[in-house]
Amino acid sequence: MQKTGLAFSIAITLIPTFSHAKSPYFSLEDGDGFKRFSISVGALHVMPQGQVQPFRVNTAVKEGETAKVGNIQAQTVLDNIRPGSDVNPLLKAALKGLAAIDAPVPSSLSGTAEIHGLSQWDNAGTGLQADDVTTLGIMSNYFFTDHVSVEVKAGIPPKVDLQGQGKIYAPFSAIASPLGSVLGQLELENDILITDLSAHGAAASARAWTPAFELQYHFGKTGVNKFRPYVGLGVMYAYFNELEMNPRIEQDLIAAGHMIANIKEGHAGGSLEGKTSSANPQVDLEASDAFAPIATVGFTYDFNSNWFAVGSVSYAQLSNDTTITVTDAKLGELIRSKADIEINPILAYAGIGYRF
């Protein structure tokens, strides 16, 4: 992104050099009563207006996948039986007896379970939203005429906090077949809490690089009107790096990785009990680049022929994707969670500039 901005700035500078010296539009010399270049520095306040979009989660557990249950506490089985489902009285009595003495159901008796609900699901009411942020803005213009210019909007890339909203649950359900289904099957169901995105402060943060390029029209006339409104239309490019996730949420996602790994390794019972698997889940956070249209209304006020004040308000229709993955070197990708982030920022700028 830095290279792109530098190349564009160099190109703007070289346009007059490669153009005919007498051109009224491309020149290093002053125009007819106006100066070709201006630069301003000031406060740039960014106010995201987008709505929170839900996370969609995919895991390595296929819909209807059969997994060995392994050792599991009898009380865990009882706690996860779907309310209202039919359970063989003998099987239920056996489970209650084992639970009374805090005994497990051994893997030799727990059998298998057909897993449902974990392949893919949406989490309504969850998502990420960017905070307001203020940074140093730098605006540079080249004037083709006294009325038409091209502006490069830049500045110091700010660190932006992403606030989380809602709780992510895994809609687990299964049909378990203990003892080879001799005493029937068990219908299990439980919404397993994965993480609370809003419980630990900012869910994530990222550094935002958002240069913009605009063609602008300036009303009034240099030397006649001190106050000159202008309008602009262009494109913004957004690039995000230095992404960091809240450590508490990262630990929750690692635990979720162990949950999926336990199922893949034939210890599905451990998934319901939050046991650590033999895997080593790693969490990665990525954000996509994006282009967006941007529109601006603003004004300049001349103190003299060189110095001026400037103020503007811009709006960009900007959104990008955020992807969270949990992977293991042996098992591969365990979890992939993706959400759109609607940023749609209003940018308010006030600065002091110099023409040359």
Are 346 and 134 contacting, i.e. CB atoms less than 8 angstroms apart?
A: no
The pLDDT tens digits for 299-311 are 999 999 999 999 9
Are 292 and 275 contacting, i.e. CB atoms less than 8 angstroms apart?
A: no
Domains assigned to the chain: 2-9+25-57+125-167+195-355 (2.40.160.20)
Which pLDDT value is given to residue 32? 74
CA 354 to chain centre: 37
pLDDT, mean of residues 231-258:
97
* DSSP for 138-158, written as a single string: EEEEEESSSSEEEEEEEEPPP
CA–CA distance, 164 with 135 (Å, rounded to integer): 22
Are 206 and 160 contacting, i.e. CB atoms less than 8 angstroms apart?
A: yes
The pLDDT tens digits for 118-130 are 999 999 999 999 9
Degrees (nearest 5) of the Cα angle 246, 251, 257?
125
Residue 15 has pLDDT above 70, yes or no: no
Residue 142 has pLDDT above 90, yes or no: yes
Low-confidence winner among 17-26, 73-82, 291-300 (lowest mean pLDDT):
17-26
Q: Tokens in use for 107?
A: 């893997």
| Number of Cβ atoms within 10 Å of the Cβ of 87 | 17
The pLDDT tens digits for 48-98 are 999 999 999 999 999 999 999 999 999 999 999 999 999 999 999 999 999
Are 221 and 32 contacting, i.e. CB atoms less than 8 angstroms apart?
A: no
pLDDT, mean of residues 20-44:
75
Reported as type and span, the H/E element at residue 55 is strand 55-59
The pLDDT tens digits for 148-186 are 999 999 999 999 999 999 999 999 999 999 988 999 999
The residue to which tokens 């005429």 are assigned: 145
Which pLDDT value is given to residue 18? 39
List of residues 6+ apart from 337 with CB closer than 8 A: 55, 56, 57, 58, 168, 323, 324, 325
| Environment class of 144 (CB within 10 Å of its CB; exposed 0-12, middle 13-18, buried 19+) | middle
Report in angstroms the alpha-carbon separations of 60 from 128, 174, 253, 323, 325: 24, 16, 14, 16, 11
Of 167 and 14, which is predicted with more confidence? 167
pTM of the model: 0.86
Mean pLDDT of the chain: 92
Q: CA-CA-CA-CA torsion for 295, 299, 305, 307, nearest 10 degrees? A: -90
Q: Tokens in use for 203?
A: 């869910």
Are 210 and 146 contacting, i.e. CB atoms less than 8 angstroms apart?
A: no
Return phi, psi of residue 107, to 5°.
-60, -25
CA–CA distance, 29 with 21 (Å, rounded to integer): 9
List of residues 6+ apart from 132 with CB closer than 8 A: 45, 46, 47, 48
Q: How confident is the model at residue 347 (pLDDT cuts 50, 70, 90)?
A: very high
Sign (positive or negative) of CA dihedral 223, 224, 226, 228 = negative
Give the residue from 173, 140, 162 showing the smallest Cα distance to 356: 140
Give the residue from 38, 9, 63, 49 showing the smallest Cα distance to 292: 49
Percent of the chain with pLDDT over 70: 91
Which pLDDT value is given to residue 342? 93
Residue 265 has pLDDT above 70, yes or no: yes
Of 226 and 25, which is predicted with more confidence? 226
CA–CA distance, 321 with 1 (Å, rounded to integer): 18
pLDDT, mean of residues 284-309:
97
Report in angstroms the alpha-carbon separations of 345 from 45, 137, 228, 289, 299: 10, 15, 25, 16, 20
Which pLDDT value is given to residue 11? 41
Which pLDDT value is given to residue 12? 42
Return phi, psi of residue 78, to 5°.
-60, -40
Residue 9 has pLDDT above 60, yes or no: no
Which pLDDT value is given to residue 3? 40
* DSSP for 141-201, written as a single string: EEESSSSEEEEEEEEPPPEEEEEEESEEEEEEEEEEEGGGGTT--EEEEEEEEEEETTSSS
Q: Tokens in use for 91?
A: 């099987």
The pLDDT tens digits for 176-235 are 999 889 999 999 999 999 999 999 999 999 999 999 999 999 999 999 999 999 999 999
CA–CA distance, 259 with 269 (Å, rounded to integer): 9
